[in-house]
Amino acid sequence: MSVPAFTGSNVMDVDAAKIRGAGSNVHFDKVSVAYGAHVVLHPLTLDIAPGEILAMIGPSGSGKTTALRAVAGFVRPASGRIRIGATDVTDLPPYERGLGMVVQNYALFPHMRVEDNVAFGLRAQGADKALIGERVKDSLATVGMSGFSKRYPRELSGGQQQRVAIARALAVRPRVLLLDEPLSALDAQIRRNMVEEIAKLHRDLPGLTILYVTHDQTEALTLADKIAIMRDGRVSSHGPTAELYRRPPNRFTAEFLGRANLLPVTVAEGAAGPKGLATAKLGDAVLAGVARGEKPGDKTLLCIRPQHLSLTGDEEHTNRIVGTLREVHWQGELTHLVLDVDGTPVRVSATRLPVSLPERGSAMPLFFTPGDTSLVPEDVRG
Amino acid sequence: MLVWSRPGRMLIWAVFALLFGVLFLAPLAVILLSSLAEQWNGVLPSGLTIEHYSNVVRGAAWNAVNASLITGFLASALALVSGTWAALALRVQDATLARVLGVLFFIPSAVPSVSVGLGLLVAFSHPPLLLNGTIAIVMVAHFVLISAFTFGNVSAGLARLSPDFEQVASSLGARPAYRLWHVTLPLLAPYLVAAFGLSFALSMGELGATVMVYPPGWVTLPVSIFSLTDRGDVFAGAALTMVLVAVTLVLLLGLERVAGRQTRS
Ligand SMILES: Nc1ncnc2c1ncn2[C@@H]1O[C@H](COP(=O)(O)OP(=O)(O)OP(=O)(O)O)[C@@H](O)[C@H]1O
Ligand SMILES: [Mg+2]
């Protein structure tokens, strides 16, 4: 989604960015953060390209907010540098960084009307009246809140408040937009709508660089060009969204992003053929999976998503495993099954069930396509 | 309600009304009555008159109201500014220093006001700090006694203020002074008004320290009331007390309206 001409341009100067309406890249250069002796961010190196949406996801306490606040300037790195575009902002106060920030509970100023909230940043920067009026109108229109400019925040719903918060951040034409769990205070239905609206917003403002912190993988998968998965203050994996989902580089990523099934297998033959398939053994079963340079005898994990497991075989679904049916949960459009395969619980999401499902406790075959799998190394914890 | 049965609830209301009546209303009613009494030897006064009021109005009342209002206003305003300043400054200090300074700020309110008065009298009786016999020493005494309350109120308000507001303001480009003026202080406004009102009311009723330090010509309402009753002129003292109650009440109601408008907008 980045503007091709600017991709990777670390040297683009701020004025050019303003004129063309393009964002800047954000670069973490070995940034670490500690509270006292407690290191919450281990040296982090990460680049967000101009116009890219990077979703930072991970479990609670993994350091996502800390990383975002380091960019905003509210957390001082213990070491390392942070650059936005060509500017090293590590020593700049927050008000000189040219960012927009949206937080979980909106933090709209309760004593100001919607229009004054949106105008706040420009007024603080001493912009002239005409420009402020124009930008306020634009920003409110962008988030579909034009009709609400005279209201006070308490007269708005949660979703409307969040839109105003986004408009307020956009009005200053930030180089980078920082969003920290912007939707987590909203309920599921509104959250889905807002995700779509943020996606639309980014189509309208393709140059805007966005750092989007969340622990909702659906938001990340829907919105992000790239995802960084955080774990215990480190980046566990980082890459283009689809690739990270299809070919997770480690167990943590596979499980965190889409709750993949991971079967412990032993590689029999390394990659062969045009599809790069290796064969691996799970008990007696011989399975084919997309390889990652494994050698015969390697112990690894075969990753297969719940929705790629089929209850019936055909010429495509050539991999076959047998498990013991443990649980069945019907959820309307999907039925979730849990089977036990050699001691590993395996989840299946089926859209269609066979006419008769075997009894709980009885054996049941599962089929899948080798192309839907990938071999994933076990995590090396450190 | 914790009590469901009708008789039970009526009983509780009755007990509440009795307590409230005896503890709060009765003393006020007695003062009101004696401020209007011609003579009071039996159970009830023997006749009613407004003579005491006209006497105090012709006498020292206006000067006393004046002295009390000016002292209350200046001391409260000063306490508000310095208490707010201290609360804001302590917030950015590290936790232990903030706690130590916070305790220091509360010492004056823990010491009896008479001791504060005596202390100031002794401390400011010698050059170069010769305040004894000036109006300033009254202000200082009131300021010392009430600043802890403003500090406490503003600190409580700050503690409840989510840091998100100020951080969002900073990220949007607001420098510290702009942020303070346009975000922090407006969000604190209800606490500031409450602190100011409380300080003012405290100052209006302050006797212990004032009586130790007041110069001639700056006799506050409580001091006048005290000296009138001390001389045996109970009825005039009662009339002046009613003036004090009325002035304080009008003041607090006025401030409440301001605060109400603040929180509504
Ligand atoms: N001000 C602070 N003082 C001390 N430790 C802190 C402070 N702020 C955060 N931490 C610690 O830093 C770690 C990372 O916190 P952070 O807020 O970045 O997590 P997060 O990934 O955003 O989590 P969540 O998903 O719950 O928001 C946590 O262990 C937290 O306890
Ligand atoms: Mg967080």
Question: For B152-168, what is each residue's pLDDT tens digit?
Answer: 888 889 989 999 999 99
**Four-CA torsion B108, B111, B114, B115, nearest 10 degrees:** -90
Distance CA A172, CA A127 (A): 10
Q: Which two tokens stand for residue B224?
A: 């006048």
The verdict on B70 and B3 lying in the same domain is no
- pLDDT at A52 exceeding the cut of 50: yes
Q: Does B96 touch chain A (CB under 8 A)?
A: no
pLDDT for A14: 40
The verdict on B43 and B64 lying in the same domain is no
The verdict on B18 and B93 lying in the same domain is no
**Inter-chain CB proximity B167 and A74 less than 8 Å:** yes
**Inter-chain CB proximity A97 and B168 less than 8 Å:** no
Q: What is the ipTM of this complex?
A: 0.80
Considering A7-16, A315-324, B66-75, B238-247, the range whose residues carry the highest mean pLDDT is B66-75
Identify the three-state secondary structure at position B64. Answer: helix
The verdict on B172 and B207 lying in the same domain is yes
Domain total for chain B? 2
Higher pLDDT: B133 or A337? It is A337
- pLDDT at A370 exceeding the cut of 50: yes
C-alpha of residue A120 to centroid of ligand 1, in Å: 29
User: Nearest CB to A72: which of B171, B174, B179?
Assistant: B171
Q: Residue B161: list chain A partners with CB under 8 A.
A: none
Tell me the pTM. Answer: 0.81
Q: Residue B178: list chain A partners with CB under 8 A.
A: 124
- pLDDT at A379 exceeding the cut of 80: no
Average pLDDT, chain A: 86
Beta partners for residue A82, in sequence order: A28
Own/partner pairs for B22-26, CB < 8 Å, 24+ apart?
A: none
Q: Helix B61-91 to helix B95-110 angle, to the nearest 10 degrees?
A: 160
pLDDT for B264: 53
Higher pLDDT: B265 or A164? It is A164
pLDDT for B207: 86
Q: Encode pLDDT of B94-148 as tens digits.
A: 778 877 877 877 777 778 888 888 888 888 887 777 777 788 888 888 998 888 8
The verdict on B35 and B96 lying in the same domain is no
Distance CA B16, CA B4 (A): 17
* Lowest-pLDDT choice from A13-27, A173-187, A303-317, B22-36: A13-27
pLDDT for A15: 39
Comparing C-alpha atoms, which of B200, B182, B214 is closest to residue A120? B182
Q: Residue A99: list chain B partners with CB under 8 A.
A: 171
Nearest CA to ligand 1 atom 31: A61
Comparing C-alpha atoms, which of B161, B196, B192 is closest to residue B179? B161
Q: Does A176 touch chain B (CB under 8 A)?
A: no
The whole-angstrom distance between B87's CA and the closest CA on chain A is 21
- Looking at the CA of residue A33, tell me the nearest atom of ligand 1: 12
Q: Residue B164: list chain A partners with CB under 8 A.
A: 103, 105, 107
Nearest CA to ligand 1 atom 28: A61
- pLDDT at A79 exceeding the cut of 70: yes
Average pLDDT, chain B: 84
Partner A, chain B 131-170, Cβ-Cβ below 8 Å = 162, 164-165, 167-170
Burial class, A162, CB count within 10 angstroms (exposed 0-12 / middle 13-18 / buried 19+)? buried
Q: Encode pLDDT of B163-198 as tens digits.
A: 999 999 999 999 999 999 999 999 999 889 888 988
Sheet with A26-35: strands ordered across: A38-48, A26-35, A79-84, A87-88
The verdict on B214 and B121 lying in the same domain is yes
The verdict on B126 and B180 lying in the same domain is yes
CB B211 within 8 A of CB B223: yes
* Lowest-pLDDT choice from A19-28, A214-223, A234-243, B30-39: A19-28
Q: Residue B170: list chain A partners with CB under 8 A.
A: 73-74, 93-95
The verdict on B36 and B62 lying in the same domain is no
The whole-angstrom distance between A177's CA and the closest CA on chain B is 10
The verdict on B82 and B37 lying in the same domain is no
Pocket test for ligand 1, best of A28, A31, A32, A40 (most atoms within 8 A of CB): A40
The verdict on B32 and B85 lying in the same domain is no
C-alpha of residue A145 to centroid of ligand 2, in Å: 27
CB B116 within 8 A of CB B145: yes
pLDDT for A75: 92
CATH code for position B247: 1.10.3720.10
CB B175 within 8 A of CB B234: no
- The closest ligand to the CA of A69 turns out to be 1
The verdict on B81 and B112 lying in the same domain is yes
pLDDT for B174: 93
Phi, psi (rounded to 5 degrees) for A70: -70, -40
The verdict on B108 and B234 lying in the same domain is yes
Give the residue numbers spanning the domain of B27: 1-49
How many H-runs (helices) and E-runs (strands) does chain A carry?
9, 19
Q: Average pLDDT for residues A333-344, to the nearest whole number? A: 89
Distance CA B260, CA B163 (A): 24
The whole-angstrom distance between B259's CA and the closest CA on chain A is 13
Higher pLDDT: B61 or B245? It is B245
Q: Which two tokens stand for residue B24?
A: 């709060």
Kindly state if the Cβ of A81 falls inside 6 Å of ligand 1: no
Q: What number of residues does chain A have?
A: 382
Kindly state if the Cβ of A62 falls inside 6 Å of ligand 1: yes
Q: How confident is the model at residue A381 (pLDDT cuts 50, 70, 90)?
A: low
